[in-house]
Amino acid sequence: MTRAFLVVMDSVGIGGAPDAADFFNNGVPDTGADTFGHIFDACARGEAEEGRSGPLSLPVLGSLGLLHAADLASGGCRVGLRATQPTGTWGAATEVSRGKDTPSGHWELAGLPVPWDWTYFPDTVPAFPEDLTAKVCEIAGTDGILANCHGSGTVMVERFGDEHVRTGQPICYTSADSVFQIAAHEEHFGLDRLYDVCERLAPILHDMKVGRVIARPFLGESGNYARTPNRHDYAILPPKPVLTNWVQDAGRAVHAIGKIGDIFSMTGIDSVVKGADDALMDHLHDAVETMPEGSFTFANFVEFDSLYGHRRDVSGYARHLEWFDDGIGRLLPKLRDGDLLLITADHGNDPTWSGTDHTRERVPVLIAGRGAGPLGQVGFADVAASIAAHLGVPSQGPGRSFL
């Protein structure tokens, strides 16, 4: 038997989405958005020098084919991209789901293109309908909510944190994604109370086809608030079996790392570990060393997106790419004969782009354990079909294996 490891670099898009013009950031179409390419260019120009310096250095991901995949996705030809022949199997994947959010990308990577249109809240103040706001107040036991608008989570906490602590009202906000987020202080509001409010609201939002209700806890004092790792996503349940179910139904172990358990509402998942990305890298190394034959491990590294993409931090994003590259470099020698490691992404979040939201892009498909060579253009759902083929379990989705 063999093992498979699917690792999502959250938001590391590589440009070139054919329908990018249909998606917007702050009123600007995503045409030309290219998360990896624009970070690569900024580093080459010496414009990403905070905490690092010089051209982007990704020897491991580059050897797996990231630079070639980026070139394929966007049709570009940056200097030096083809200097070294990849030792991995590489390609670029295109999404068909009508969304550029976390559930859409992950569901389709797991073999299920989203079968409906998500509900999005308007970029107005207030953003939420009165009956929904009233329901939040009823469940939370408060006489109002704060924010009620589109915004970045860190900005929302900075802007409304003091008023939240003073009044006890939850900070409720959304984004260009199909999401309802609640930020609350772990001590003044209570972490368990925050979870309870989100859990009770989730069925109402899911009936509206809002993809996720997210608890966003924070700590600290005025002028020094910081979000904690205790985020919890209450995601709508996939309406059909996905890759995790296919593998579990075949009697194999399925292990989740990061927010995968939240994204799939634990469907088809036997065990899960969470934490910051540095801890998740340790967990991924542990999984490679300990998961049994025939198992499937599904990991998400969210800080590319949450700490650097949304905050439009080019230097930070570049640093995290180089950190991730080092971690994967230390991981590759631990793989067993017959293992498959597939690294990809779920959408883009170009830190050079207008606004603060995700960007519509193709994503890389980089494979260690299956030789070297190009895959060409593939679909998100082909990832699930390929992992199922590698593990020898039936595929139940529309994708085709590229292995």
Complete DSSP assignment for 49-83: -SSS-SS---HHHHHHTHHHHHHHHHT---TTTTS
Q: Consult the annotation and say whether 232 binds a ligand.
A: no
Which residue from 4, 64, 13 is spatially nearest to 37, judged by alpha carbons? 13
Nearest-angstrom CA–CA distance, 301 and 262: 13
Inter-CA distances, 85 with 67, 90, 374, Å: 10, 11, 10
Nearest-angstrom CA–CA distance, 336 and 292: 11
pLDDT digits (tens, 9 = 90+) for 355-379: 988 999 999 999 999 999 999 999 9
Structure tokens at 207: 């009936």
Return the number of other C-beta atoms located less than 10 Å from residue 298's C-beta.
Answer: 29
Is the pLDDT confidence value at 198 over 90?
yes
Q: How far, rounded to the nearest angstrom, does the alpha carbon of residue 254 sit from its chain's CA centroid?
A: 19
Is the pLDDT confidence value at 53 over 60?
yes
Instruction: Determine the pLDDT at residue 179.
Output: 95
Domains, the chain: 4-115+239-391 (3.40.720.10), 130-235 (3.30.70.1250)
Bridge partners (DSSP) of residue 296 are 4, 254
Return the number of other C-beta atoms located less than 10 Å from residue 77's C-beta.
Answer: 8
Q: Consult the annotation and say whether 305 binds a ligand.
A: yes
Instruction: Determine the pLDDT at residue 229.
Output: 87
pLDDT digits (tens, 9 = 90+) for 384-401: 999 999 999 999 999 999
* Residue corresponding to tokens 């799939």: 264
pLDDT digits (tens, 9 = 90+) for 303-356: 999 999 999 999 999 999 999 999 999 999 999 999 999 999 999 999 999 998
Are 51 and 315 in contact by the 8 Å Cβ rule? The answer is yes
Backbone angles phi, psi at 272, to 5 degrees: -150, 145
Query: Phi-psi category of 279—alpha, beta or left, where left has phi over 0 and alpha has psi -120 to 50?
Result: alpha
Average confidence score pLDDT of the chain: 95
Q: Consult the annotation and say whether 382 binds a ligand.
A: no
Nearest-angstrom CA–CA distance, 36 and 351: 9
* Residue corresponding to tokens 């354990």: 369
Segment (H or E) for 84: none
Q: Consult the annotation and say whether 10 binds a ligand.
A: yes
Nearest-angstrom CA–CA distance, 256 and 284: 9
Is the pLDDT confidence value at 48 over 60?
yes
Instruction: Determine the pLDDT at residue 49.
Output: 98
Instruction: Determine the pLDDT at residue 78.
Output: 62
Structure tokens at 18: 């054919």
Q: Which range is least confidently modeled, 65-79, 172-186, 209-223, 297-311?
A: 65-79
DSSP letter (8 states) at residue 279: H
Provide the residue type at 150 as one letter: H
Nearest-angstrom CA–CA distance, 269 and 30: 34
Provide the residue type at 20 as one letter: A
Q: Consult the annotation and say whether 310 binds a ligand.
A: yes
pLDDT digits (tens, 9 = 90+) for 8-41: 999 999 999 999 999 999 889 999 999 999 999 9
Task: Work out the pLDDT band at 272, boundaries 50, 70, 90.
Answer: very high
Average pLDDT over residues 124-149: 98
Bridge partners (DSSP) of residue 364 are 92
Which residue from 252, 323, 328, 228 is spatially nearest to 284, judged by alpha carbons? 328
Q: Consult the annotation and say whether 347 binds a ligand.
A: yes
Structure tokens at 224: 């020094």
Inter-CA distances, 46 with 41, 55, 156, 157, Å: 9, 7, 31, 32
Residues contacting residue 21 through CB under 8 Å, at least 6 positions apart: 29, 30, 31
pLDDT digits (tens, 9 = 90+) for 57-97: 999 999 999 999 999 998 876 645 555 789 999 999 999 99
Are 298 and 256 in contact by the 8 Å Cβ rule? The answer is yes
Per DSSP, the three-state class of 161 is: helix
The torsion angle over the Cα atoms of residues 369, 374, 379 and 384, rounded to 10 degrees, is: -10
Instruction: Determine the pLDDT at residue 83.
Output: 56
